[in-house]
Structure 1
Amino acid sequence: MSGFDYEVVIETFARTGWLARIAFVPWKRAVAVVPAGLLSCAYRAQREEFAFYSEQLSSTTDGVYYRSDFADDQNSSHADLIGKKVGAVTGYSTHAKLTDFGIDPIDIPNGEAGIKMLEHGRLDNFLNGRQATDFLIKWLGLSGRFRFSIMADKPLFLCLSKAFPLSNLLLEDFNKGLAEVKADGTYA
């Protein structure tokens, strides 16, 4: 597996002489273990206790997906979802946001399941990140079947564990390499 942030991190570290190895594990396990770092993480004040944040790596756009034939484009805030049949991936920040707003979301195990449940009418709305979900929709051959309402745009970072040896040096080198990758057009 790879993707935009994955490719940028590999290239960025390579430019500063580091060989990055990225392992894919469930997010909850990654946060609990944090061997060297987390890719890609949104800012959370409580993470500052154990992690350093890089310069902004990318962003994610959270919002609501709904079927193209479903007349429900009035979703611009979480409050608009109250009383609706909405799902979110368990453990994701989107799920927690719904709970914070007093909404009892339908628990979804992963993005692919959410898309399929939405397609088959088991959900009216699926709250998730746009970039990854758009990729899954295309991969599943379902392009054009859904619409999207933006709710929030969040910056994403590489989080490096403060407990990892040389994390300060890694952070400095990463930020330097990231600036270079952006400046020479590779990032674009």
Structure 2
Amino acid sequence: MSDPQNPVAEPAYQDRTFRSPAGIAGGVLLLALGTWLGVDAAIRGEGRTPWLALAGLLLAVPLVVAYTVRPCVYANDDRLRIRNPFRSITLPWASVATLRSGYSNEVLTNDGTKFQLWAIPVSLRGRKKAARRQSQAAAAGDPTSGKSFLDPTTRATRSTGDQSMDSLRELAERQADAESAQGEPVVRWAYEILAPCAAGAVLLVVLLAVT
């Protein structure tokens, strides 16, 4: 429950979450393989090899996590929260100008700042499949085939990423004027990712320089 004296401080309902299952699965596999090879080199390696392996892990593991497991988009009636590889962005709906899809899915703020939605990747293959389904529906005389993407009856003929963007656009349009959705964008750097990456890179350069 939100504070009755500050009703817009925290939403009293659960966020909708958008993530890329394929990205997470790929990241987990890369982490498992990299950890196995790195630990093996650290245990069995000779000379500076163990230190090089540990430095490589310190650099690589956060990067893999940043680009595969970390990205996520949270949305509720108050705001859109974007967790990208190296930044976390909080956008009250009133600060969102538009959400657009091209070769990547992006959100634009009222001041023209653009943020990419890493957690909702664009699948050109998925769009082609969706286009074929729409063509087949039109050929079969489906009355929903020509409707706007905002109509929920058309969702089944759109790719997964485009369906997610449709949902976010609807939420942005509906909540833009809500009192609880007012505010300015907030951007925070992911130092929990950047710090170990920097440490690993510095250690790796030093080890290679003295080898």
TM-score, length basis structure 2: 0.27
Higher strand fraction (1 or 2): 1
Over alpha carbons, which structure has the higher Rg? 2
Higher helix fraction (1 or 2): 2
TM-score, length basis structure 1: 0.29
Larger relative CO (CA 8 A, sep 6+): 1 or 2?
1
